[in-house]
Structure 1
Amino acid sequence: MAELATVSVLVIDANPGMRTQLRAMLGSFGVNGVQFAVSAANAVRKLRGARFDIVLCEFNLGDGQDGQHLLEDLRSQEIIPLSTLFIMVTTERNYERVVGTAELAPNDYVLKPLAAHALRERLQRALDKREIFLPAYLRVEIGDPLGAVELLRQAEADQPRYLTDLLRLQAELLLATGHTDDAQKTYRRALGEKDLPWAQLGLARILFLRKQHGEAEEMIATLVAEREHYIDAYDLLARCREEDGRLELARDALLAASARSPHRVSRLRHLGEVSFQLGEHERAERVLAEVVRKGKVSGFREPEDHVRLLQVQLAQGRDEAARATIRDLDNSMGGHPKASTCAALARGLYYAADGEDEQAREALRTSALAASADGGLLSATLKQELLKACFDNDLETEGSELVLDILRNAADERTLEITRGALRMRGREMLAEELEERTREEVRGLIARGAAKAKAGDYDGAVSEMMSAARRMPGNPHVLFNAALALLRHIEHRGWNERFATQASTLISRARRFDPASPRLAAISGLLHSLFKKFSIAPRGEGRRRGIAV
């Protein structure tokens, strides 16, 4: 049994009276390692700087924030590991409204009014359950998710009370490592135990990855009909409809989700973008203005949101509002690595709309140079907007360099087609073909040089060649997979190298984000796991988060 007195706790609550009460209660259990955060943004800063065993979070955080969406941000951004328990403190009314409505749920809930014995019981229960899952969590942390799956399977016989939880984590890890057939079987096993919405949604995700959008939509529609408050289903429903070009229906799904759960910034951003594409400028502006506001108080600032908002305002001829957005970008995004690039782009778009051609070209040139040098920070979507503006303002060289940058890092066919379409609309079909062929030759050459060095036994040279390629093309899944492979072949032939293993795991994770359906994902994840087994690598102590920049 885990000892409460040894754990560290972060309490997130804006109410000073509640913070005092929780301090006293935790202290009475012998828990002295307690820190406090008064807002979501404050909590994010603390969690980025330190690791806690338990996060005890009030559901209602104020400023349009709530604990559920903070949890989703923390997990999706990998700010807290699986071994950090997230426990929500809420009223019975909020509990009934939020429990079972999200795919990503807290580890537990504590209901108000708080009672010391109930809080202690909940914390102890969560810690005892964590002890069962901890070996698997630590495997994930060292970069061996398939090793975690093996441990979870072994635990099934000894821990039947947690069978569906064991199956759920197995399925998620199998899906993340490209083993979609095994993930599908595991989700179906879970559904054989009981009616579980997360397992139904998992099966729909697999269909979506396989581009079976119609079948995925049908499955999600059934889920939503049965559980209309299961919010995450609406997001995947919108993506299915968007992939098939049915933007009005995608918008409707996002509106339905936002009406039930109004605080998730990523969903609101998606709604704003779809509304803008549909020409629904008033809704797009209203939603994107809320995205900007929430981003500033959440701890996840994104200057690209200001540019999207400005585009909507310019489309309506709202010049004064656009100028206010530029001022807010300057004032609120200082220090963000994308701030200067986005600010220059915003000014370029504004000057171009206002007919100030020379000032527009100067600002766009500045933004294009910064975007080319930022190491892949700017999204492909915004780079596409920038290249359109460059070509529309006679910045041929800058536009061509942006096209090359997008092509070098294109993660999917859709990105390529949108870029081709932007060039076609500007009478540059031949340029698109020429730059695509140039990029293909460049990628083939980089990979061939790395492969030749490995074939000749120069594993150091192969790593150097492919890591250089990964730095040059940080968003290209093909290059990232080959860089990871060079690192793993080095380990295979030269012996265990923890730094290389960590780099390989990071590259695989990045490639998966760009291309989750890649057929190479399962093979390279399996190779990494085989090397952990070959060299008998196990977690040390409590484990630690690791990450190497490339």
Structure 2
Amino acid sequence: MQDNSNLSVLVIDPNPGMRGSLQNMLVQSSITKIEFAVNASTAIKQVGKRSYDLILCEYDLDGGGGSDNGQDGQQLLEDMRHHKLIGLSTIFIMITSEGVYSKVVSAAELTPTDYILKPFTVDMLSQRINRAIERRAVFLPTYNLIAQGNLREAIRSAATGEATHPRYVADFARLRADMHVALDELPQAEDIYSGILASKSIGWASLGLARVLFAQDKIEEAENVVTKLIEDNPKFMAAYDLLAKCHEMNGAAYRAQKILEEAVAISPHMVRRLRRLGEVALEAGDVVVAEKSFKQVVSRSKYSEFRDPEDHVKLVKTLLKKGDTNQAGSVIRDMEKSLRGNAAIDACKSISVALLHESAGNTAAAVTELNAAVAAVRLSKGLSSELKIGLARTCLSNRLDNAAAEVMLTVMNDVDSDVSMQDAMSVFVKAGRPDLAEGMNSRLMTQVQELLDLAAEKGNMGDVKGAVQTLLEAQHMAPKNVQVMVALAKAILRQLEDLGWDHPLAEICNTQLDAIRKIDPANPLLPGLTEDYHSAQRKYGIST
């Protein structure tokens, strides 16, 4: 008999009677390390503090009373995965009715480990838990490699799993595809998804194929795949999000809005989708839909662990576009009151107040707040690139050239930003200021050279990790600069030599070498760097 006494379990259920019943069942199955959460918010707090082997989650989290703003267990699972609060090895079992199960089982992109349909017995619960543990044991070698960042070896492990565990062929193939995507090897991922679909129509495989097609700028092909997916399964919600992106890429903001409206009508409680609907509607000029969406986002996020003051800024922009300055002012006051203590609140408040003054024609007051916003952005972490770029544009419209340039430099200095140098330059070009774009480029190149010098100094002092981190910043600012690529590859190879093998860093090094081969194949340093990389692999017994 399987020993489950060491399993740590989180039970998520709003009903105290059901929580007690589940506790009794678990204890009878020799599981005693049990904690409880009554709704999504408390569950998210708890998984943020510690990890659990098993999560048992009721699908209907509001207990029919609307206490959790309508969020259900499926949406909680997606939030936990999206924010990386639970890993692949965490067992997530959904407790639901047969009627709900029939609706969600084929419509969800991210599925639980298993479903248990009510009513159920102790033996049924124990059997499902044992089955989930046995399943996890099959995947654990691959999961561990993924957690280590050793994606190359994880792909091999998944391929072995496909061969030795035919029952889980599709699941292992999905893992392989996901890892190829993470390594930016999109054609390989496309082949895997296509291979799965050749034998069986699976929603997540169709979505995966559409996503890799989209990422390769095959927009029409992606649109065809995802449109067919929605026709076959009208409640596969993630498909609507991608179809809206396809329309946006084609410049059809209104069509994207209508697709998202359709999705929200089917599943009205997903905050990320509501937020995107508001953004697209505002872009399409539909302030009525934008206002409604952003108000819902602000309201539904009120008690969320993921509350974002930038939502208030978007609502303020919408209300000002509508001409409703009074409501905009109320939103600003609510933001200041309800989000006190949030690290981003100063920047968001100053931006909102500046927009309010600008709409009223109070230029001097707007400039004062914009300068305060720029100062706050300099000190804040976690602000989106979108917010910063919007601030830079507002600064430009108020002739605050230096402030706009400073904000865009914070975007380029943010290693988590996906904004390219070309994107940053285009902000100034589109504003009719190509001179500022040239100046910005010059400043960035100066900063890159300073980072190269700093990295060399750190390397000479023996701070190999510091040198690598500094060069990663330089690489973010100048991703196609061969001098930076060479310096970064050298620094990583030195760290691997001095401190041991590091799978994610080794992959970055390999990516830099591939990029140098494409951009400057005759680079005299390339052969030596390549040999040093293979030598490091041999030293640590890494498969090549």
Please indicate the TM-score interval, normalised by the length of the shorter structure.
Answer: 0.7 to 0.9
> How far off is 1:311 after superposition?
0.6
1:497-516 matches, within 5 Å, as 501=502, 504=505
CA contact (8 A) 1:5 1:32 kept: yes
> How far off is 1:313 after superposition?
1.0
Instruction: Give 1:468's aligned residue.
Output: 470
Larger mean CA deviation between 28-37 and 434-443 belongs to: 434-443
Find out whether 1:493 has 2:497 as its counterpart. yes
SS where residue 301 of structure 2 aligns? helix
Instruction: Give 1:411's aligned residue.
Output: 418
In the alignment, structure 2 segments of 5+ residues that lack a partner are: 63-68, 512-517, 520-528
CA contact (8 A) 2:12 2:58 kept: yes
> How far off is 1:305 after superposition?
0.8
SS where residue 11 of structure 1 aligns? strand
> How far off is 1:418 after superposition?
7.5
CA contact (8 A) 2:59 2:73 kept: yes
1:532/1:211 Cα in 2 relative to 1: closer, same or farther (>3 Å)?
Answer: same
Pick aligned residue for 1:233 from 216, 231, 239: 239
1:502/1:165 Cα in 2 relative to 1: closer, same or farther (>3 Å)?
Answer: closer
1:351/1:241 Cα in 2 relative to 1: closer, same or farther (>3 Å)?
Answer: same
> How far off is 1:212 after superposition?
1.1
CA contact (8 A) 1:488 1:504 kept: yes
TM-score with structure 2 length normalisation?
0.85
1:318-333 matches, within 5 Å, as 318-333=324-339
> How far off is 1:242 after superposition?
0.7
Find out whether 1:77 has 2:83 as its counterpart. yes
CA contact (8 A) 2:210 2:222 kept: yes
User: Which structure is richer in relative contact order (CA contacts within 8 A, separation 6 or more)?
Assistant: 1
SS where residue 64 of structure 1 aligns? coil
> How far off is 1:428 after superposition?
2.1
> How far off is 1:4 after superposition?
2.4
Q: Max radius of gyration: which structure?
A: 2
Distance in 2 between the 1:469 and 1:275 partners? 40
Instruction: Give 2:10's aligned residue.
Output: 10
Instruction: Give 2:108's aligned residue.
Output: 102
What does the per-residue CA deviation read over 1:405-451, in whole Å, with 9 as the maximum and x for residues that have no partner? 335556356x84586356543x42321233134324543x2575589
Find out whether 1:436 has 2:465 as its counterpart. no
1:264-279 matches, within 5 Å, as 264-279=270-285
Pick aligned residue for 1:121 from 100, 106, 127: 127
In the alignment, structure 1 segments of 5+ residues that lack a partner are: 512-518, 539-550
What does the per-residue CA deviation read over 1:138-185, in whole Å, with 9 as the maximum and x for residues that have no partner? 111111122221111112222111111111111111211122232222
Distance in 1 between the 2:507 and 2:348 partners? 27
Pick aligned residue for 2:220 from 201, 207, 214: 214
CA contact (8 A) 1:60 1:66 kept: yes
Pick aligned residue for 1:381 from 383, 386, 399: 386
Larger mean CA deviation between 305-314 and 349-358 belongs to: 349-358
Instruction: Give 1:132's aligned residue.
Output: 138
1:437-452 matches, within 5 Å, as 437-440=442-445, 442-443=447-448, 445=449, 449=453
TM-score with structure 1 length normalisation?
0.85
Find out whether 1:178 has 2:180 as its counterpart. no
Distance in 2 between the 1:74 and 1:452 partners? 40
Distance in 1 between the 2:48 and 2:202 partners? 33
**What is the total number of aligned residue pairs between the two structures?**
517
What does the per-residue CA deviation read over 1:209-232, in whole Å, with 9 as the maximum and x for residues that have no partner? 111111111121222222222221
Structure 2 letter corresponding to 1:488: I
1:385/1:529 Cα in 2 relative to 1: closer, same or farther (>3 Å)?
Answer: farther
Distance in 1 between the 2:217 and 2:43 partners? 38
CA contact (8 A) 1:144 1:529 kept: no
Instruction: Give 1:26's aligned residue.
Output: 26
SS where residue 9 of structure 2 aligns? strand
Distance in 1 between the 2:110 and 2:239 partners? 12
1:353/1:434 Cα in 2 relative to 1: closer, same or farther (>3 Å)?
Answer: same
Instruction: Give 2:524's aligned residue.
Output: none
Instruction: Give 2:354's aligned residue.
Output: 348
SS where residue 65 of structure 1 aligns? coil
Instruction: Give 1:313's aligned residue.
Output: 319
CA contact (8 A) 1:408 1:476 kept: no
Determine what percentage of the aligned residue pairs are the same residue.
34
SS where residue 146 of structure 2 aligns? helix
Structure 1 letter corresponding to 2:466: S
SS where residue 57 of structure 1 aligns? strand
CA contact (8 A) 2:493 2:533 kept: no
Distance in 2 between the 1:114 and 1:195 partners? 31
SS where residue 36 of structure 1 aligns? strand
Distance in 2 between the 1:123 and 1:421 partners? 54
Instruction: Give 1:392's aligned residue.
Output: 397
> How far off is 1:494 after superposition?
2.3
CA contact (8 A) 2:56 2:94 kept: yes
What does the per-residue CA deviation read over 1:519-550, in whole Å, with 9 as the maximum and x for residues that have no partner? 99xxx9xx999968853599xxxxxxxxxxxx
Distance in 2 between the 1:439 and 1:483 partners? 17
CA contact (8 A) 1:281 1:315 kept: yes
What does the per-residue CA deviation read over 1:479-533, in whole Å, with 9 as the maximum and x for residues that have no partner? 9988974663123332416xxx38848989xx9xxxxxxx99xxx9xx9999688
1:72/1:261 Cα in 2 relative to 1: closer, same or farther (>3 Å)?
Answer: same
> How far off is 1:31 after superposition?
0.9
Structure 2 letter corresponding to 1:535: Y
Structure 2 letter corresponding to 1:468: T
- RMSD (CA atoms): 3.4
CA contact (8 A) 2:455 2:471 kept: no
Structure 2 letter corresponding to 1:291: V
CA contact (8 A) 1:40 1:297 kept: no
Instruction: Give 1:168's aligned residue.
Output: 174
